[in-house]
Homo-oligomer: A and B are copies of this chain.
Amino acid sequence: MAVQRGRGRGPVPNGPADAVTEPMSAVGPNGRPVSAPDVRERARAIPEAAVARLAVYLRVLSAMSEQGVGTISSEELSVAAGVNSAKLRKDLSYVGSYGTRGVGYEVSVLIEEIERILGLTSNHYVAVVGIGNLGHALANYGGFPGRGFPVVALFDVDEDLMGIPVGGIPVNHIDEIAQVCASREVSIGVIATPPPAAQAVCERLVSAGVRCILNFAPVVLQVPDDVEVRKVDLAVEMQILSFHVARRADEVASNGADVPRVDGMVIPR
């Protein structure tokens, strides 16, 4: 993947990555003086990577809850989430101490607390810009997986799309972006436009007051420091997989016992 982490700072692309980030340069040093660890400041201390994992834990926990599981140990949860149990406990410790030693965690409590930390207790309204193939798919998700993220506005430049409802929401012209985003309290913008339009769209979203952006366009967006951009880049994901395919092929070639060699060199066929 390749997730554009970082907060503006002039240019700061990725991070899946990673992480997809792993994403390019992490948040980086912020200029603010390190104040006393206020209760409200705790959130700041949570590493971005831990936040991503908390979201995964939340999903696993929700599934557990639906299956009627009431209590779970860090070991069980870590296996289900695919992480080291120590890491899981440390991640949960960022949220607070809600476990019972010798027993484990109460699923419902954990869900509540993670939702609180992730800010999922209130809705965040979403606007999707660019109603092509991907935009359609996104709009039709209707509220995004897991809910809490209702799509309330769609934008495009194509006059033929205006007013036509996609996933129940009519498409507006992009020129109305400022006004519509303001009146519908959009806090998250999703860019699903062709690459050349992405930067301009991004700037219009920012002008409209949107401070969090999810970018599907294969472009490195340049944004002000106070705007948070995350990037989902299919091409980068594919290329990373390609890298691993190639590496794997190399390994097989160089590890194979019956590969023709001269002085240790593998002879290409």
Task: Tell me how many residues of A have a C-beta within 8 Å of chain B.
Answer: 106
* A138: chain B residues within 8 A (beta carbon): 234
**Which stretch, A56-64, A105-113, A154-162, A168-176, touches the partner chain B?**
A56-64
- Among B12, B14, B52, B253, point to the contact of A52 (Cβ < 8 A): B14
Kindly provide the distance from the CB of A8 to the nearest chain B CB, expressed in whole angstroms.
9
Main secondary structure on A side of the interface with B: mixed
A residues 208-264 in Cβ contact with B at 8 Å: 211-214, 218, 220, 222, 226, 228, 230-251, 253-254, 264
Q: Is A17 an interface residue (CB 8 A)?
A: yes
* A79/B11 contact (C-beta < 8 A), A22-B17, A56-B220 known: yes
Q: For A100, list chain B residues within 8 Å (CB).
A: none
Contact A242 B148 (CB under 8 A): yes
Whether the Cβ atoms of A23 and B25 lie closer than 8 Å is: no
| Structural contact, B244 and A212, CB atoms closer than 8 A | yes
Q: Is A145 an interface residue (CB 8 A)?
A: yes
Q: Quick one: given A13-B81, A81-B13, are A56 and B18 in contact (CB under 8 Å)?
A: no
**Cross-chain contact A40 with B250 (CB below 8 angstroms):** yes
Counting CB contacts under 8 A, is A266 at the interface?
Answer: yes
Q: Which residue of B lies closest to A259 (CB)?
A: B40
Q: Which of B5, B78, B134, B146 lies in contact with A17, CB distance below 8 A?
A: B5
Residue of B nearest to A248 (CB): B211
Q: How far is the CB of A209 from chain B (nearest CB, A)?
A: 12
- Quick one: which of B83, B211, B254 contacts A12, CB cutoff 8 A? B83
Which of these, B13, B188, B246, B254, contacts A241 with CB under 8 Å? B188
Contacts of A20 in B (CB 8 A): 1-3, 5, 15-23, 52, 230
Does A178 reach chain B (CB closer than 8 Å)? no
A247 and B120 CA atoms in complex are apart in Å by 12
Q: How far is the CB of A247 from chain B (nearest CB, A)?
A: 5
- The answer to whether B264 touches A38, judged by C-beta atoms less than 8 angstroms apart, is yes
* Contact partners of A124 in chain B: CB under 8 A: 238, 241-242, 245
Whose C-beta in chain B lies nearest to the C-beta of A28?
B84
Select one of B3, B120, B145, B211 contacting A19, CB under 8 A: B3
Beta-carbon contact of A238 and B250 below 8 Å: no
A-B contact pairs, 11 of them (CB 8 A): A1-B18, A1-B19, A3-B23, A20-B230, A55-B233, A56-B236, A118-B239, A145-B218, A146-B218, A211-B248, A212-B244
